[in-house]
Structure 1
């Protein structure tokens, strides 16, 4: 089809589902949201006009039925298909929900936030929902991960807010140029641990999801502990140390202290040579694997930093060649979602959603909280967009393991439970 985008190797290795963000806005007065839907709709219409592919669909690629790509039709006038509007004033109390620490479970149980099954093709590239409540509002966007990654989602949010201010995001949004693998490159499997081109089929155990808060003070204390234990071990980031905390605690709890690695999702755009343009919002991520065992916090943090630092242009290009040569349903090959795979940690901390200026769309208010409006599979940890004072982290795990880590005093000295599952 002439309106199909060329399939991209990086789009084939992601989880085939929706990345979702739900922003919470407090009311600034009785008339705070009088024009919210109108302003958001107008802003979104401008974004869709500038980036028509956002109105398209994730579909099976014509060149390979195991791959997907973005296809038309692209209807830039279909803003009301992309943006759903729900007025729950009189039926849902935002202030009371805030007092419950923005419990995702409460929201999902009382409201429908489900969109089409990601693997029933064609699946929409994006969908959004504005919900007005007593005392506040929420704005949620679902991004199909076979088309857009977390960095791409951040640019979309920035573009929509800019359009609501009557401005344009510098550089815009694009799905081109698509990354092209050098001819004949087959890739080297040994360079990409944790990747299996022939994964065994298998189910996943039931999971529970919880959300924790790590204050800046506690994160500093955690990093101080890691660096004091190994003062000459080299620089590590706060993200390295936070991931190391989950890794070193969960591995023994799950009975896997010697064989559970850790996968850290790395934004590979700027690491490619030449780098992809800032306007590109398609997938360009790589799972850096820190191998087991990692007995101490400091050792684990350094192992994570070493794994992340190893991701250079040559490794990314080699991986793209490996994916292209295999030609299978590569997202299944990421063993992070199987019982014997590594723990997966990904971070949306630097998305900048809290800093976005929506002008009058929400009566002058900016987002006061950002949630992930869904439940997680076991073995996934997501650092949510950073808000003033610290970080929210959500993670999914089997209940028996979640009970143990949430009762671990050494772990919980750095974390405060916010919402979701909690041991009785």
Structure 2
């Protein structure tokens, strides 16, 4: 099992001009030289990438009235959706480059996504798109974009040493078609309709250049509770105790990539994605006491075994009167606890419920999302311990996996996501 509920201590001068408060769909099409039924960024859908860099008229803004408290700023040192307080729902989509699309075409999509991201997160109406969330707030929508090692290699950019391929872990049953990808987009919001709108807009803008490889949807994220209490996963366990915290304004920290790697990633992060099916029938047939020993925490309060409060120190040396370890040697808490600060990750997990399987059980579990500075020194060593010894492994099955470099944020109006990578 991944480190699921436990334990963490602790410019392109030719860029298209735009208005920071968002664009209408008609204005977006005008900037890209796109009209009528061919309003996509497909290879055959526009007359050439040179059109993307032509001066454009001041766009017409058609903005919905939204409350400031519902708006998550798109611009910043880092992308939103990482240090942002976790919203209630997620749509996670991986894309592959379609056909013979090249570097310039992919860059055009990134520019379009940047413009659309500013519009969607501020509640601007985009003509010609679904408008299924018309009249709604932005529901704290955040948009987070990352790239896979395969894309970095396709455009012949410098691959960071930390953008590693995950090794095979014991017990995994990975479906390669639902893993990896050239790009990933994490959409988070408190309203599923807002997510559906954003997903359809971004996918439409990429049509002909990118194709969807896989998509996952989740709900009830760790930390989404407005009262600050830790949420529960589908095993009924508190999920997210002792999580790493960080600031969207911090230039350095436990999950942010510094300037010691490729310049195109400075201010970014790394995302490890794992789709973990929970074998809930077996779990539900296990008595509560045994469940607590598997996790190493009481189910009701989340307190470490032998303690009273969720926030109590995890005493790995504590023993029962008979001399046995209070927190068992194969418990998830013990094995997931970072051995050093290098293993710190910020978890942002969501539950999922999928299809009914042939045996009548439901495919359900956890979308494990973890942001970190270097997967080779954080996720990989922790997961190797868990795969070898974690008692929770008997009740889970990982079916998909991926690692992505999350691009830095954008702060200038003339900037766009991935500008340094594609320069």
Considering the TM-score relative to the shorter chain, is it more than 0.5? no
Q: TM-score, normalised by structure 1?
A: 0.30
Higher strand proportion (structure 1 or 2): 1
Higher helix proportion (structure 1 or 2): 1
Q: TM-score, normalised by structure 2?
A: 0.30
